[in-house]
Amino acid sequence: METVLIFVETKGGEVKKASLELLSEGRKLAQTGRFKVEAAVLGPLPAALADKLLPYTETLVHIDDPLLEAYTPEAYAAALAGYAQEAKPKMILAGATQTGRDFLPRVAVLLGCGIVSDVTAVAWEDDPITCVRPIYGGKVLTEVSPLAYPVVVTTRPNTFAIAEPGSAPGSVVESRAGLNVGKMHTKVLRVEQKQKGKVDLTEADIIVSGGRGLKAAENFALVEELAAALGGTVGAARSVVDAGWRPQEDQVGKSGKTVSPKLYIAIGISGAIHHIMGMDTSKLVLAINRDPNAIIFQYANYGIVGDLFEVVPAMTAELKKRTGA
């Protein structure tokens, strides 16, 4: 039987959503009887983390090495590719998160195989598999297939549904990466965490973004309050990042991040093409703008023409009422 290897990404003991999506998809693949699915964790594996993962996979491979304590693309790529050379999976899957997109290309080179990055749909039953990936900021979709196996595929967060954990827990298989310290050239000096528990825009379910229409940096409080009521992440248009109202990591658009949340709320954003290229793959878009001719409405499912300083607080209050907060 052919093997599918899923890289499980964790942060602070939690499993990344994109990894849970792939594990859920992996369970379906295992049920077809065509594939044996293995999930791989690199670096430390606390018992609580193993307990979270085992209901999702028959085999949890724990690839360990002192060099895997902190993420570096060199060590992660060497460790995952090293294991893949033994296990000979047909496919290596990972979430197209910042980390996934950073080191999986190196894995492909180490294995001498192809990679399809940032995929938004996969037809597993096709032979070879067909991956859908957006190009030109979502203006065009491509269908991409590997010409040979193995192949590395990274899938964009929010691509697959997350299944309920299964009832038959799998088992942990220990594997030593045996990395050569002399061959590693990267050392993590420090990680500065300003905001605890902040979900990256590229992985967020719900994004509330603000633009020039907010008129001043302090008015972003309205966006933050709505985002908090929804459990969402705050995004920003380029103009307000360039004006210094918001940090660079909040920028959605061509020169910022490409996002595909389930819900994207655009507040006081006119809809320049640079912004659209970053958010047009969102599943549902609500735009709030006082200009009825704003371009953003052409890229929205729902629109409210009105004064955001009235509409947004009213919406926040309404949502709090609904959730009983």
Q: Which residue has the tokens 């002399």?
A: 182
CB of 280 to other proteins, least distance (A): 7
Question: Of 6, 151, 177, 179, which lies in the binding site for other proteins, with binding defined by CB under 8 A?
Answer: 151
The answer to whether 2 contacts other proteins (rule: CB under 8 A) is no
CB of 147 to other proteins, least distance (A): 6
Helix or strand (DSSP H, E) at 289 = strand 284-289
Within 262-301, the residues that bind other proteins by CB under 8 A are 262-263, 273-274, 277, 280-281, 283-287, 297-301
Within 111-150, the residues that bind other proteins by CB under 8 A are 113-118, 130, 132-148
The answer to whether 83 contacts other proteins (rule: CB under 8 A) is no
Contact 211, 289 (CB under 8 A): no
The answer to whether 166 contacts other proteins (rule: CB under 8 A) is no
CA distance 297 to 274: 15
Within 214-233, the residues that bind other proteins by CB under 8 A are 230
Would you say 1 or 178 has its CB closer to other proteins? Answer: 178
Among the listed ranges 1-9, 37-45, 169-177, 255-263, the one in contact with other proteins (CB under 8 A) is 255-263
The answer to whether 72 contacts other proteins (rule: CB under 8 A) is yes
Question: Of 213, 256, 268, 271, which lies in the binding site for other proteins, with binding defined by CB under 8 A?
Answer: 256
CA distance 134 to 147: 20
CA distance 24 to 26: 5
Would you say 60 or 241 has its CB closer to other proteins? Answer: 241
Within 11-40, the residues that bind other proteins by CB under 8 A are 11
Two tokens, residue 85: 């050379």
CA nearest to 23, candidates 161, 202, 167: 161
Within 184-213, the residues that bind other proteins by CB under 8 A are 184-200, 203, 206
Report CA Rg, the chain: 21
Q: Which amino acid is at 147?
A: L
Would you say 164 or 185 has its CB closer to other proteins? Answer: 185
CB of 120 to other proteins, least distance (A): 10
Cα–Cα–Cα angle for 141, 142, 143, nearest 5°? 130
The answer to whether 255 contacts other proteins (rule: CB under 8 A) is yes
Q: Phi and psi at residue 315, in whole multiples of 5°?
A: -70, -40
Contact 3, 90 (CB under 8 A): yes
CA distance 118 to 93: 11
CA nearest to 55, candidates 164, 180, 196, 137: 164
Contacts of 293 (CB under 8 A, 6+ apart): none
CB of 308 to other proteins, least distance (A): 9
Question: Of 14, 24, 55, 73, which lies in the binding site for other proteins, with binding defined by CB under 8 A?
Answer: 73
Applying CB under 8 A, the site for other proteins has a residue count of 98
The answer to whether 109 contacts other proteins (rule: CB under 8 A) is yes
CA distance 231 to 234: 10
Would you say 9 or 64 has its CB closer to other proteins? Answer: 9
Question: Of 68, 108, 214, 236, which lies in the binding site for other proteins, with binding defined by CB under 8 A?
Answer: 108
Helix or strand (DSSP H, E) at 286 = strand 284-289
The answer to whether 91 contacts other proteins (rule: CB under 8 A) is no
Q: Which amino acid is at 263?
A: L
Would you say 60 or 222 has its CB closer to other proteins? Answer: 222
